[in-house]
């Protein structure tokens, strides 16, 4: 059984800090799961379209969901199946204006689907996606944690809530902050510091990894 990694990047810059951090996380996962397979979704280089009128119409009520506009859910289904096929998800994203970039929001709007990835209940949304580790590599020009924080953070609570609503609750945030002031060796040191906080135990506990160990 192959350990599958879904690797998503959101930065429009090829040499961005978030891309470098997410790539390093993927390498660590491959070290923990030799022979693993990586599926790539580069939202920075190939942005998804925003929700179309047909998609919005289909999602507008239980009746229209039961009889969707033909083709309106095709992209959504493709993206959801990528998530379901992954044993681990790695998302590299910059913090844009205190929150997620629009390309990541467009992806979220396609995978958050009533009756498919979550159920609506009187007490809120209940996830329908089996939990798996999600590693989120963040790069921020400013500082949003600790004593030196100089800006609010709407990115991490938003992603925790929205992914958790689908059932993805095993989330680790790894960040490189104050990137506007990082040059040369300082940038490499910041990346290593972020990677030092990673927890790979959830990968070792994966059923696919356990199956490999028993071969």
Tell me what percent of the residues of the chain surpass a pLDDT of 70.
96
Hey, how many other C-beta atoms are within 10 angstroms of the C-beta on 213?
8
Q: Are residues 76 and 111 in contact, defined by beta-carbon separation less than 8 angstroms?
A: yes
SS3 189: helix
| Mean pLDDT calculated for residue range 121-143 | 96
Q: Are residues 138 and 174 in contact, defined by beta-carbon separation less than 8 angstroms?
A: yes
> Does residue 190 have a pLDDT over 80?
yes
The pLDDT mean for the chain works out to: 94
Of the pLDDT bands very low, low, confident and very high (cuts 50, 70, 90), residue 211 is low
The pTM (predicted TM-score) of the whole model is 0.94
Tell me what percent of the residues of the chain surpass a pLDDT of 90.
87
**121 class by beta-carbon count within 10 Å (0-12 exposed, 13-18 middle, 19+ buried):** exposed
Q: What pLDDT digit, counting tens, does each position of 196-209 carry?
A: 999 998 887 776 66
The pLDDT value recorded for residue 184 is: 83
The pLDDT value recorded for residue 1 is: 75
Residue with tokens 């160990």: 213
Q: Please give the CATH topology (third level) of the domain spanning 4-213.
A: Rossmann fold (3.40.50)
The pLDDT value recorded for residue 21 is: 97
The pLDDT value recorded for residue 208 is: 65
> Does residue 158 have a pLDDT over 50?
yes
| Mean pLDDT calculated for residue range 146-174 | 97
Give the H or E element holding residue 118: strand 118-121
Smallest CA-to-CA distance from 35 within 5, 56, 57, 7 is with 5
Smallest CA-to-CA distance from 203 within 158, 159, 172, 157 is with 172
Q: What pLDDT digit, counting tens, does each position of 84-119 carry?
A: 999 999 999 999 999 999 999 999 999 999 999 999
Q: Are residues 94 and 101 in contact, defined by beta-carbon separation less than 8 angstroms?
A: yes
Q: Are residues 118 and 165 in contact, defined by beta-carbon separation less than 8 angstroms?
A: yes
SS3 135: strand
CA distances from 84 to 152, 161, 174, 181 (A): 32, 19, 23, 38
The pLDDT value recorded for residue 214 is: 40
How far is residue 106's CA from residue 189's CA, in Å, rounded to a whole number?
Answer: 32
For residue 87 the two structure tokens come to: 């044993």
CA distances from 23 to 17, 91, 93, 148 (A): 10, 10, 12, 27
How far is residue 82's CA from residue 61's CA, in Å, rounded to a whole number?
Answer: 25
Q: What pLDDT digit, counting tens, does each position of 19-61 carry?
A: 999 999 999 999 999 899 999 999 999 999 999 999 999 999 9
Q: Please report, for the chain, the start and end positions of each structural domain, with discontinuous segments joined by +.
A: 4-213
């Amino acid at each position: 059984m192959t350990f599958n990694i879904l690797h998503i990047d959101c930065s429009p810059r090829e040499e961005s800090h978030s891309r470098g951090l997410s790539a390093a996380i993927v390498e660590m996962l491959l070290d923990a799961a030799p022979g693993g397979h990586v599926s790539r979704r580069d939202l920075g280089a190939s942005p998804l379209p925003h929700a179309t009128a047909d998609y919005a119409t289909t999602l507008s009520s239980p009746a229209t969901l039961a009889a969707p506009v033909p083709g309106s859910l095709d992209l959504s289904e493709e993206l959801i199946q990528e998530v379901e096929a992954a044993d681990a998800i790695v998302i590299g994203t910059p913090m844009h204006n205190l929150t997620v970039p629009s390309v990541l929001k467009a992806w979220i709007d396609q995978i958050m689907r009533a009756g498919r990835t979550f159920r609506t209940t009187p007490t809120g949304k209940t996830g329908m996606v089996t939990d798996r580790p999600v590693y989120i590599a963040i790069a921020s020009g400013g500082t949003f944690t600790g004593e030196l924080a100089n800006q609010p953070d709407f990115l991490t609570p938003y992603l925790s809530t929205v992914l958790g609503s689908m059932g993805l609750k095993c989330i680790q945030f790894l960040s490189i902050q104050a990137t506007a002031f990082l040059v040369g060796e300082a940038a490499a040191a910041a990346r290593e510091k972020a990677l030092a906080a990673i927890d790979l135990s959830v990968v070792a506990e994966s059923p696919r990894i356990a199956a490999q160990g028993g071969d």
